[in-house]
Amino acid sequence: MTIIYCCYGGAHSSVLACAIHLNLLPQARRPTIKEILKLPGFDRMPRELIGFPVYFGTDNKGNKIYYQGMGRAAKAVKRLLQSFMAIEGIPQQEVYLKDTLKYINSLVRIGGFLSRRLGIVFAGRLLVALGLILAYPRFLQAVNEIKKEIGIA
Amino acid sequence: MKIIFCSRRISQLTYLAANLLSSYDLNLSFKQQYALLKKEQDFFPGTLQWIKEDKQGNQIYALGLNRSKKIILQALMGYSFIFQRQEGFLVFDLWRFENSYLKCSWSFKRLGAISVAEKLNELGLKKAFPVLKKEIQHLREWLS
């Protein structure tokens, strides 16, 4: 199975969801800023690569985990995935697409804007990390629900 | 091979390109080609739609785009890699053949002035036709 976590820029919330899915972050407590900043791919997605799903890892059941930025074209990209799968004869249950944008807060939005758009990387990353720490329980719950749904929790 | 024609949403420009690619006779005039076109079918951006098969057995698809063209194309490329379908895909961008007539046609269509939109669409297609035909000719040569 292929699991794609998607968000606006593919740099923060989807990366966090992938990391939770692959047990790179703690379940019992909130992660530290350092732990978040050390995540592979965190705040790294270049603007010109938005839209391209990036491989993050494979979980213990062999599911491949990707993160993807969809920019303002989220609806179009979701439609593309559906029609692509239909044309190629890929069964619907083979792919799980999860939008992680709804779990973020204003800190993540502002930090992401500062870092990715304005290039104020240091301050932006700190704000994003802080925002994600605050929103962490929601992410944890969402990812654990997915894992339960696909039978790996 | 799968040939994907991309244009803003899915317009008659796509169908014209598909007809030119699959046609036995490339010497048909614009009027004759225009008469063969289906009534315009609009789809939402991101929709990948099968159009027809050409004489060499290539499958022709249309992909609707919007202002986020790059993102949609990146996603298409990414999905073809993820599902290992990257071989045999050819994406042909029709966006560059759009001219001011076609753009105005879209605006009038949105406003509900259908007859004006259709006339502008025809003019736009007529203007794009010679260059499009030349490019499709190159594509046909390359495919064969």
Q: In angstroms, how far apart are the furthest CA atoms of chain B?
A: 45
Alpha-carbon span A100 to A5, nearest angstrom: 7
From the list B97, B78, B83, the residue with the least C-alpha distance to B135 is: B97
Closest by Cα among B13, B18, B11 to B136: B18
> Which of A14, A52, A97 to mutate to test binding with chain B, by most B CBs within 10 Å of its CB?
A52
What CA–CA distance (Å, rounded) separates B66 from B106? 12
DSSP helix/strand/coil, A96: strand
| Nearest alpha carbon to residue A15 among A72, A60, A57, A78 | A57
**Contact at CB, A50 and B74, closer than 8 angstroms:** yes
Q: Which residues of B4-31 are buried (b: 16+ CB within 10 A; e: fewer)?
A: bbbbbbbbbbbbbbbbbbbbeeeebebe
Separation between Cα atoms, residue B66 and residue B78, nearest integer Å = 18
Are A77 and B49 in contact (CB < 8 Å)?
no
Question: Is A52 in Cβ contact with B45 (below 8 Å)?
Answer: no
Q: What is the per-residue pLDDT for B40?
A: 60
A52 chain-B contacts, CB cut-off 8 A: 74-75, 77-78
CB contact (8 A) between residue A73 and residue B44: no
- Shortest CA gap B114–chain A (Å): 25
Strand partners, A64: A2, A58
The verdict on pTM exceeding 0.80 is yes
Is A75 in Cβ contact with B44 (below 8 Å)?
yes
For residue range B45-84, what is the model confidence (pLDDT) as tens digits? 898 888 888 888 889 998 988 888 999 999 999 999 998 8
Integer Cα distance of A82 and B45 in angstroms? 12
Averaged pLDDT, B32-57: 81
Residue pair A115/A121 in contact by the 8 Å Cβ criterion? yes
Q: What share of chain B is helix, strand, coil (3-state, %, to 5)?
A: 55, 20, 30
Across the interface, do B70 and A88 touch by the CB < 8 Å criterion? no
- The whole-number pLDDT of residue A132 equals 95
H-run or E-run covering A84: helix A74-88
Question: pLDDT tens digits, residue range A97-153?
Answer: 999 999 999 999 999 999 888 999 899 999 999 999 999 999 999 999 999 988 876
Closest CA to A103 of A142, A77, A153, A55: A142
| ipTM of the prediction | 0.90
CB-nearest to B50 from A2, A48, A87 is: A87
